[in-house]
A and B are shown apart, each in its own frame.
Chain A
C-alpha cells in the first residue's frame, strides 16, 4: 500500500500545525466563527446536532493494521469508544471536543491519516472498489490510479474553489462495486479490442436532490491519458458550472443542461491542449506509486482445514456462503466483516472491534484492510486455511454476522440522530428492519437485497440506488418515510422509482415487511432476486403490497 514519503509527511505536519494555531486563535477570540468555520471544514471538522464531528479520510478505502489500530485508539481516547464508517469510505467521530481535535489530527498524522478535503468545494476523497487488488474479476488494481488522482487533486491550485464538491470513484473490475455511475467522474476499467487496459469514463452521475445515472463520456481512455483527461473534465466544468445556484452547480446539471455531446467536444478540445503539458511526469509518478501497491508475497496454503470445516460446521458454512468472495488466488479468499449485527448501528465499530480487526489483519491478512461503501470492513487477502480460526475470533467481538448482501446489511446514514442537515432519523429504522427480518427468520430465503436509508434529500445513504430505498423527510413537523423501488448501484445502474405516499415512523417497518414477504410470493423461484422480480413485473404488484387499501378500492 501507499506509504507516505517525506514530502507528504511534511505537508501533513504543516497543515496540522496551521490548524492547531487556528483553533487557538478561535478559542482566544481572535477569529470569529464566520472566519473559523471554513477553516475547520477544510480539516473535516463539522458541528452536528449534539457535538462536533470529525470526518477522517480513508483514501480508496485502504487501511493497514496499524492505521486501524490507531482509529480505535482515537475512538477510545478522544471519543466515546466507537467510530462510524460511512458510504464515502470515511470514518466519522461523533463526539470530539474542539480543543482535542489538533491532538487527534497529530495522532492520525503519525500513521499517515488525515481529514483534508473531506469537506468543501474540492475534489473529495477518491473512492474505489473495496475488493481492489484482490478480486478475481479484476483487470488491474485501481488504487495506484486512485492515489495518483489523490496526489494530483490535493491542494491543486485551480481546484480549491470549485463550483461545488467533486467526487471520483474508480473500479478495476468490469463488475462495478464502487457505484461509479453515481459520481461526478466514474472510472471503470475495461479492455479495448487489443486487450489493453483502460477506462470507461462516466460523467455526471450523482444522487441527492436530482439523482442521475452518469453518462459515458469516453468508452475507452488509455490509462496513460487519465490525468490530463480528468483535468480537462474538471476544468470544463469549472468554467461552465453554475455558481449562481448551489443546487445546479454539480457537474450532473452541467451535463444535463449542455448535453453530453457538447461536454464531450469541450473536454476533448481541452484535453488536446492539456495533454502535451503533462510530458510524462504523471506516468513516472504512477510507476513510482505502483511500486507501493505490489501484491503481498503470497503464502501458498492447503485448503484442507477449510474444506473440512465447511463440510461439517453449518454456522461456519452459512458465514462463508454470505461473507466470503472469490479471491484471484484459489487458496485465498476475500472476507467481508459485517458491521451490521442485527439491531446495531450500521457502520459503527467499537475500539475493541477495531483493535481485533487490526490484529487479524496483522496476523492473517498481510496487514491489509478495506472499508466498503456499504459500511463493512474487508480483509482482502486471507488464506482459506485461516478462515475457521478467523471466524472464531470475529465471533468473540460480535463481528461474525452472516448477512453480507442480505436484507439486514442495510446502508444507513447518521440521519437525525447526529446530522445537522437531517430531516428524519435513519439509524433506528435500519435497526428495526434488521431485527424484524431476523425475528421472521427469512433473510437467507429472501436472498440478495439492498436496502438503503437516507435521513434527507442529500442521499448519503444512497437510497436512490437501493433495491428498496428509504428517504426520511419532515412532513409538517413529523417524520415521514418515502420508499423508492428498483434502484441499482452497479454497472446496470438505475435510479429507484418513488412507490407512492410516504409512511409514518411507526408504519415504515411494517411496510418494508409487507414488501419483502410479498416478494417471496411474486418471484418465479428462489433464484429470482428482488430486483429481477421488480424488473420483470414492474412497480404495480409491489405498490399493491405497500398500499393494500388502494389495491382493495381498485379491485
Chain B
C-alpha cells in the first residue's frame, strides 16, 4: 500500500466548554483563529504535535488534522467544510466571523 504524499495540515478541535472551533498554535496552545494555527508540512511533526494536542482532553474535543495552505495572513483552509468552521454559518453573522469582527472593533 503506497502512502499518499503528505499535504500541509493544521490541528483543530472544538473547545470542551464553549464548543468553539479551536486551532493548535506553534506555541503548543489552543487559539481561536485559523490564521494563528501552526501549519505542519511534515508528517512526523504533525503526528508528534497531534499526540500532545490530543492529550488535552480537558480543553479539546474531537482533535483532528485538517488540510490547509499558507496564505498572506497565515494558514488558510483547503476544504469548504473547514472554511465554514473557520468562519461560522452563512445564514447568520454568528460564530467566528462575529468574534473576529468584535475583536477588531
Contact = CB atoms under 8 A, between A and B. Distances in A.
A433 to B, nearest CB: 14
Nearest to A82: B92
- Which of B19, B62, B80, B96 has its CB near the most chain A CB atoms (within 10 A)? B19
A458 to B, nearest CB: 16
B91 A345 contact: yes
Contacts of B16: 26-27, 98
Contact of B92 (A26, A80, A96, A97): A80
A50 B91 contact: no
A478 interface: yes
Contacts of B85: 49-50
A427 B84 CA distance: 13
Given A97-B18, A477-B80, A479-B80, A32 B91 contact: no
B18 A416 contact: no
Contact of B91 (A422, A427, A474, A477): A427
A29 B57 contact: yes
Interface residues of B, number: 25
Interface in B79-97: 79-81, 84-85, 88-92, 94-96
B39 interface: no
A469 to B, nearest CB: 21
A380 B62 CA distance: 43
A417 B84 contact: yes
Contacts of B89: 50, 94, 417-418, 427
Interface string B58-98: 10011000000000000000111100110011111011100
B90 A427 contact: yes
A50 B81 contact: no
B90 A417 contact: yes
Contacts of A425: 84, 90
B21 interface: yes
Contacts of A26: 16
Interface of B: 14, 16-21, 57-58, 61-62, 78-81, 84-85, 88-92, 94-96
Interface of A: 26-27, 29, 32-33, 47-52, 80, 94-99, 345, 416-418, 422, 425, 427-428, 431, 474, 477-479
15 contacts: A27-B17, A32-B57, A33-B62, A47-B61, A47-B62, A48-B19, A50-B88, A51-B18, A95-B19, A95-B94, A98-B16, A98-B17, A345-B91, A431-B91, A474-B81
